[in-house]
Structures are given as C-alpha cells and as structure tokens.
C-alpha cells in the first residue's frame, strides 16, 4: 500500500477543492479529454480550468482497448505525469476502480499520490471485449463508493468522486433504463459521490429529466448527437466531458496527412495549417500559446 506523506495529500486536496468549486459554479464545467502530457498542456494553455483524463485515449495511445488493460499502476503513472505538467486540476478516469470494494483503498491512494483531484468510477461490470455491457449490482456499487469514502477519510483526503452510470449502455431505449438511472444516481449521491456521470445520456428531454430527478450535480459524456455546451448549461447540466473524442480527432488528423503523403507527396498545405513551431515549443515548455 502506498505510504502518503501529509504534503502530498495537502497538495492533492487543494486541487480537489478547486474542482469541487468549479462544479458548483453557475457556468457549466467543460472538461476536455487529455490522453497525455501534451494534450493536457494544450487544454490548460487554451484556458480550460480543469482537465478530464480519458481511459480510452490513454489506452489507445498504448495500443490497447479501453478495458483496464493498462492497469492501476500504469494508469496512475500517466496521471502523475499529467498532473505535474499543469496547474489546473486533473480528474482521472478510474474506470471500474481496478477491482471490487476491497480494491478502492489502493486505487484512491494511487491517484492521490499521483496528484490528481479525483476520479470517475463506472458501474458497468468487467466483461470480455466485444461482449455486451453488464452492470455491477446496485448494492455492490454502493459498497465500492462507500469504500472510496472510507479510504478518503483514512488519509484526510478531499478526493473528488464522479460516479458514472452505465445503464443506458445495457438497454434498448432510454425509456427502459430511466428509472434505474435515477435510482442509481440518487443512491450514489447518498453514498458520497460528488457528481453523477451519465454514459449515453440521450436527447434533451432525457437530460432534462435526469437533471430534475437526480439529487446531485449532473455530468454527461457527450457524443456527436449531444446538445452544444450552452444548451447543456440551460438544461442544468453541471459538467460535460468528451471521453476519447479528442484522441480520435487527433489520430484522424495524422491519418489525413499520411494519406496525402501516400497520394502524391505534397503535404505543404497541411504543414502550413498545423501549429507553428514556435507555438509548439512554447507548449512543450509549459508557456501559454
């Protein structure tokens, strides 16, 4: 078990408190998905007040599926590098927590030691790649959240918990899963979660219902059909993040340039459109763009 020094916990706590403050501000908290140090520095330099890590993006740049294949220690090390490279709070994607309730203490300690403000925790269960998503029973997921709270208390941590609900990934329609999502959201909030995070949140009416019925700040994992940020704010959403979307967009740009090189060799226009070298060097040094 990681032995945490008081100064390490204190430094992480300052970031946790800042993230919690941002969540409760009237303005929606927009958190892009960082997958490495460079993307984290870019988001900070553009003025984002907090950064969400993406497990899918981190796994992808290591050639892995988004299935906890990188492990707790490998993931925590990536977040340690991110958190050290930026001044704003970084929220880790803790995936499924790397085990059951008994594993939560080790997970919380690993991420606090890494200097992050908090983590996401999914309620889908472990399943083989390509097989249907299933859920951890509600009572067991509440146990996991309570174990996070116990681990926090033991080290004097303000660690932030964003409890993710995956119900909409297991049903045919949002109407089928709505009652279960609301029940889980309120149970997770009562157990101590700071924010309730909805996977595949649905349309405007669905989001509006969730904001009204769940007694905690609501976050959504936005996709291509999600309302724009200002509309989400009007609906009452407290926080929005984008998962691996930035990673997929980045590799798409690389693909475009590589295909142009294959097709005729003239990529001068694409190079001119890319970030200028001096700005790139400023980003590497941690200076504003």
Residue 109 lies in a domain: yes
pLDDT in tens, 276-286: 999 999 999 88
The answer, yes or no, to whether residue 108 has pLDDT greater than 90, is yes
Residue matched to tokens 């590799």:
251
Residue 141 pLDDT grade (very low, low, confident, very high; cuts 50, 70, 90)? very high
Spell out the long-range contacts of 282-285 with Cβ–Cβ below 8 A and sequence spacing 24 or more. Answer: 282/45, 283/38, 283/41, 283/42, 283/45, 284/38, 284/41
Residue 278 lies in a domain: no
Whole-number Å distance between alpha carbons of 73 and 68 = 11
Q: Which of 241, 239, 157, 227 is nearest to 192 (CA)?
A: 157
The answer, yes or no, to whether residue 145 has pLDDT greater than 90, is yes
Ranges of beta strands (E only) in 41-166 are: 51-53, 90-93, 118-122, 160-165
Structural domain boundaries, residue 215: 10-259
Residue 235 pLDDT grade (very low, low, confident, very high; cuts 50, 70, 90)? very high
> How many structural domains are present in the chain?
1
Whole-number Å distance between alpha carbons of 98 and 121 = 10
Residue 277 lies in a domain: no
Residue 3 lies in a domain: no
- Distances from the Cα of 66 to the Cαs of 43, 57, 95, 218, in angstroms? 22, 8, 9, 23
Residue 1 lies in a domain: no
Residue 273 lies in a domain: no
Q: What is the pLDDT of residue 1?
A: 75
Whole-number Å distance between alpha carbons of 239 and 254 = 30
Residue 287 lies in a domain: no
Residue 266 lies in a domain: no
Whole-number Å distance between alpha carbons of 136 and 142 = 10
- CATH number of the domain that 236 lies in? 3.20.20.60
pLDDT in tens, 18-50: 999 999 999 999 999 999 999 999 999 999 999
Give, for 110, the enclosing helix (H) or strand (E).
helix 104-114
């Amino acid at each position: 078990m990681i032995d945490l020094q008081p100064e390490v916990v204190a430094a992480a706590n300052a970031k946790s408190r800042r993230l919690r403050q941002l969540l409760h501000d009237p303005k929606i908290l927009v958190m892009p998905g960082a997958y490495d140090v460079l993307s984290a520095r870019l988001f900070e330099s553009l003025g984002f007040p907090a950064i969400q890590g993406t497990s899918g993006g981190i796994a992808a740049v290591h050639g892995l599926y988004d299935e906890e294949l990188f492990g707790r220690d490998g993931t925590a090390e990536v977040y340690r590098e991110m958190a050290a490279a930026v001044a704003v709070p970084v929220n880790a994607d803790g995936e499924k927590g790397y085990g059951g309730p008994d594993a939560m203490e080790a997970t919380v300690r690993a991420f606090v030691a890494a200097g992050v403000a908090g983590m996401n925790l999914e309620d889908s269960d472990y399943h083989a790649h390509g097989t249907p998503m299933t859920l951890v029973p509600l009572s067991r997921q509440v146990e996991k959240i309570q174990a996070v709270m116990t681990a926090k208390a033991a080290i004097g941590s303000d660690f932030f918990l964003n409890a993710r609900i995956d119900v909409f990934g297991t049903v045919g329609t949002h109407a089928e899963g709505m009652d279960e999502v609301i029940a889980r959201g309120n149970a997770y909030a009562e157990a101590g979660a700071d924010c309730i995070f909805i996977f595949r949140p649905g349309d405007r009416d669905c989001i509006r219902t969730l904001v009204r019925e769940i007694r905690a700040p609501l976050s959504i994992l936005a996709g291509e059909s999600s309302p724009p940020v200002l509309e989400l704010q009007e609906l009452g959403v407290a926080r929005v993040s984008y998962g691996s979307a930035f990673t997929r967009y980045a590799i798409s740009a690389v693909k475009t340039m590589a295909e142009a090189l294959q097709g005729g060799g003239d990529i001068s226009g694409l190079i001119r459109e890319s970030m200028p070298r001096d700005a790139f060097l400023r980003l590497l040094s941690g200076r504003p763009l």
